Amino acid sequence: MPQLTLADRVADAVRSVTGSGPVGLHEPNFSGNEWAYLKECLDSTYVSSVGKFVDKFEADLAAFTGARHAVAVVNGTAALHVALMLAGVGRDDEVLVPALTFVATACAVAYCGATSHFVDSEERTLGMDARALRDYLGSVAEVRDGQCINRSSGKVIRAMVPMHTFGHPVDIEGLLSVARDFHIVLVEDAAESLGSSIGDRHTGTFGLIGTLSFNGNKTVTTGGGGALLINDTQLAKRAKHLTTTAKLPHRWEFLHDEIGYNYRMPNINAALGCAQLERLPEFLAAKRRLYERYRSAFEGIASVRVVAEPSGCNSNYWLQAILLDESIAGERDSILAATNDSGLMTRPVWNLMHHLGPYRDCPRMALPVAESLERRLINIPSSAQLGMGPSN
């Protein structure tokens, strides 16, 4: 018998969990009330920016996450944009962003006319490294008149946007402490972590504002959609106002008192979201089972481990990932090819932000861990359905 390559062994391990046939990276599941709620939407003719499902989706999100308020918007990128505006980020500010993130985080900073400033990750959480960030800020920044100034650029470091990578919670306590000491506003990019918590508190509720995404590949989808989680009532009112064209309430006049945004989530998308949220506990349980199955399947492959939630945290296991030891990082692309060739959709983690043209010249700290993770991380099929049936 010819010896199997590492790539083949990885593909076999994934296949042992997923069963046969083509397997997507993350497919939604619509076997609940999705159908009924969409029909109700059409029958009522309320499909657009006003409707009872928008209100219900916001209330359901607030109830599930424990945030005092949730404001539904058109997608996660819009949620980040508004969150940064509300955090006071403006032209010529800098914002601390993980180098390892989906590009939306850096885009939202650019929309504000501000500059991303990239932060390294820790391997334990895949998210911003609080200790390394503290040391770095201590050497390059100083607090002056209650603002954190980047001594090199002279700009204000206004906010930080840690992201809970693949749903695994970041070291939020460590980062909140850095934010406090350096007078930086913390906005939580919880786009990937609906259902993830730290202790008994839901991700996205620690910072001034948290943001969610309900894109088609997320744990819960509205087609396209996002939300802001906000505890401060005044701030939540302002978020709703800014995202709904800044129109003042009036029986018939069209008065808009600031430059607003049309970031409203349509009722039809919210209807889908309401049905999906009802299934969330079931999805979370299935995704956790899927992790356990992968962990078993990969036990026999040295130098490859399935990424697990950080201790003290509860991850939603949005995207399952395997991490190669540095010694076999060179095998990453052959593993990607072998799995995709055999109908198993896998992908590497996003290219680091400072490797992308538009963000190449942004300021950054040394990024050894993020750069190592970029070489070694592979996402494997993660749909909740894969953890629902009996194991293969």
Residues that bind its own copies in the complex, under the rule CB under 8 A? 27-30, 34-35, 38-39, 42-43, 45-50, 74-78, 102-104, 107, 110-111, 113, 215-217, 221-224, 245-247, 251-262, 264-269, 272, 336, 340, 346-348, 350-351, 356-358
Distance (Å, rounded) from C-alpha 316 to C-alpha 195?
5
CA torsion through residues 104, 109, 112, 114, sign = negative
Which residue, 197 or 339, is less far from its own copies as judged by CB? 339
Q: Can you give the length of the chain in residues?
A: 392
Minimum CB distance to its own copies, residue 150 (Å): 21
Which helix (H) or strand (E) is 227 found in, with range? strand 226-230
Nearest to 53 by CA among 276, 218, 237: 276
Buried b (16+ CB within 10 A) or exposed e, 113-139: ebbbbbbbbbeebbbbbbebbbebbee
Which residue, 282 or 292, is less far from its own copies as judged by CB? 282
**Number of neighbouring beta carbons within 10 Å of residue 249:** 7
Minimum CB distance to its own copies, residue 124 (Å): 23
**Number of neighbouring beta carbons within 10 Å of residue 59:** 13
**Number of neighbouring beta carbons within 10 Å of residue 384:** 25
Minimum CB distance to its own copies, residue 174 (Å): 27
Which residue, 25 or 176, is less far from its own copies as judged by CB? 25
Minimum CB distance to its own copies, residue 311 (Å): 29
Minimum CB distance to its own copies, residue 316 (Å): 18
**Residue carrying structure tokens 């993830």:** 196
Distance (Å, rounded) from C-alpha 159 to C-alpha 277?
30
Minimum CB distance to its own copies, residue 23 (Å): 13
Which residue, 31 or 392, is less far from its own copies as judged by CB? 31
Distance (Å, rounded) from C-alpha 118 to C-alpha 116?
6
Minimum CB distance to its own copies, residue 133 (Å): 24
Which helix (H) or strand (E) is 286 found in, with range? helix 267-297
Strands 209-213 and 147-150, how do they pair? unpaired
Which residue, 78 or 184, is less far from its own copies as judged by CB? 78
- CA end-to-end span of the chain, whole Å? 24
Which residue, 78 or 212, is less far from its own copies as judged by CB? 78
Which residue, 107 or 176, is less far from its own copies as judged by CB? 107
Which residue, 250 or 311, is less far from its own copies as judged by CB? 250
312 torsion bin: left (phi>0), alpha (psi -120 to 50), beta (else): left
Minimum CB distance to its own copies, residue 120 (Å): 19
